[in-house]
Structure 1
């Protein structure tokens, strides 16, 4: 069903296509396009008070138009009902699969979605507070953070952090890195099912290309993996996120800190979790670039505040620099 806001008559519509003909192989020879538009195929009902409604009748057998809308009865016995044929709301059926849906949604819907997401993320952060506290304490026990406490039991006393924990972390990191990033590259191929020469050659090509992506195209792959393996024995969980970076214009695989991947604490896996949120930190210039590239919708960026630090774990100065 389509709508004609200019109230053209059938003659005007057909006259616009009078010079258009279709190729011979489609209709058996040249033919005026206006001959294809008949009374049985197109019904134009004009309402003096509202915009006209055009109804395609190539399949339906009966059409009724009243104050409640348009009902089209088809030969199969089914009916199509449009309760608001003059609605001018933007149709997104012609949008691409990877379009940003935020560009098509009403502001009220976007605001409601944002409020709902923020509320649920706050609950997820609250549910894992015990884990957050243990994680932060574990990082402090590594001895890599300067101790600024001044409550020594007596004058001249000093605090000592034994390096046993960080020594175990570094050894785990070194051994795991050698296994996950060998000299030949991290990617390997495995032929499932019947092994043939063609499949083995195909697997070799895929392996070589993926290793090229991870060692040449993604220049930070090794550093991201190295950092992830350092945090893994401390937090118990670590994550890699592989995606197309619109700024670098290449596929990247980034380490996601466990404190920045927010899920309900009772979730046993990401697949079973009702939601998982990746907390991202952007510089102001980075965000503007992503908006210009269409990755995010263009909207006014708010000034950072101390309130933002409660949900990002960053200080006010960090937030001011990043957002």
Structure 2
């Protein structure tokens, strides 16, 4: 299995961090840094290193290298709140058409994943075998066993009990750098083993499905309600890429298909992640179409789609893409990365966020998904 590329970013959380308490803390930290800059005769931006050693041997540790959403909430706001309705509707129409094209171009990948799930024999509908009258089918669970064995052996490397993170100091190491590195390692390992309890479970699910799907994805995001980062496994049949994509991380657009309940939808509206659009839940609303892989997995799980949409399931597309928006005063129409959220039921934009660090003149895209490849191959 190819080593996954882990996205590294600081302070890049989209909505939900703009609480009064967090803003006050950020302002206090800014004031403290301004005090030390004035005392040392430094101009803003002079402090680029994490650790600045003074002539008397003392040091100043700079924790404010980049602006986070707490420090600059206006930059990370939902742009859909300020854009006019015509612009948003044009974006929704354009990207819904692109999503339909991406579904068609990647439909074979869904079929391949479905066949892998069926050949495990766990759903009692494995393809192939005798078809004449009176014939019996015998399915050997060799593929299921292979998936479990692969996940178990991989988990030993990726999910060690004491944590995965290790330090790598670039340049000449000294005591201060080593102590700083140790603190970072301890903190990140604490996050993965204790603060984010679902990390191991999501990774185990991902690893068992990786040989069947060829690629799987782990998504990270900040949860304002729990005040911590959370992660979730995203199956390959719920990720759509354009036909011309040659690499997941450089694709023109990456679409995650999310089927969420009405309760989850309302939670995101209340948290300010989505716009409060005019849309009422109805149990008679049609359920969303399932992928072939999802149908095959439902047989393995032993569940059937209900006749009524009692949980208010609705489909939302979260699109990580590059756009040229003249309406964005930060880019002046230049190509830049954004996150666009569209409600399929109403064909309306729910959210539009800048997807780069504040003050980043290169508009470098922030990655929220980690791609795990079973066999590195041509294309994405």
Deviations 1:22-81 (A, max 9, x none): xxxxxxxxxxxxxxxxxxxxxxxxxxxxxxxxxxxxxxxxxxxxxxxxxxxxxxxxxxxx
From 249, 260, 274, give the equivalent of 1:271. 249
The alignment's TM-score, normalised by the length of structure 2, stands at 0.55
Partner Cα distance (1:281, 1:190) in 2: 40
From 155, 162, 169, give the equivalent of 1:177. 155
The within-5 A match list for 1:178-193 is 178-193=156-171
The within-5 A match list for 1:55-94 is none
Aligned to 1:208: 186
Q: Does the 8 A contact of 1:143 with 1:161 survive in 2?
A: yes
Greater RCO (Cα-Cα under 8 Å, separation 6 or more): 2
Q: Does the 8 A contact of 1:177 with 1:226 survive in 2?
A: yes
Shift of 1:107: 1.7
Shift of 1:300: 2.8
- How many corresponding residue pairs? 229
Distance change in 2, residues 1:185/1:148 (3 Å)? closer
Q: Provide structure 1 residue ranges, at least 5 long, that are not aligned to the other structure.
A: 1-93
The within-5 A match list for 1:147-296 is 147=125, 153-296=131-274
Q: Which moved more, 1:119-128 or 1:161-170?
A: 161-170
Q: Greater helix percent: which structure? A: 1
From 296, 299, 317, give the equivalent of 2:306. 317
Q: Which moved more, 1:234-243 or 1:222-231?
A: 234-243
Q: Provide structure 2 residue ranges, at least 5 long, that are not aligned to the other structure.
A: 1-71, 296-303, 315-380
Partner Cα distance (1:319, 1:141) in 2: 31
The two structures, once aligned, show a CA RMSD in angstroms of 2.7
From 103, 121, 127, give the equivalent of 1:125. 103
Partner Cα distance (2:290, 2:85) in 1: 26
State which structure, 1 or 2, has the greater radius of gyration over its C-alpha atoms.
1
Deviations 1:212-241 (A, max 9, x none): 111221120110111111111111111111
Counterpart check, 1:103 vs 2:81: yes
Partner Cα distance (1:124, 1:130) in 2: 11
Corresponding residue SS for 2:253 = coil
Corresponding residue SS for 2:197 = coil
Q: Which moved more, 1:289-298 or 1:261-270?
A: 261-270
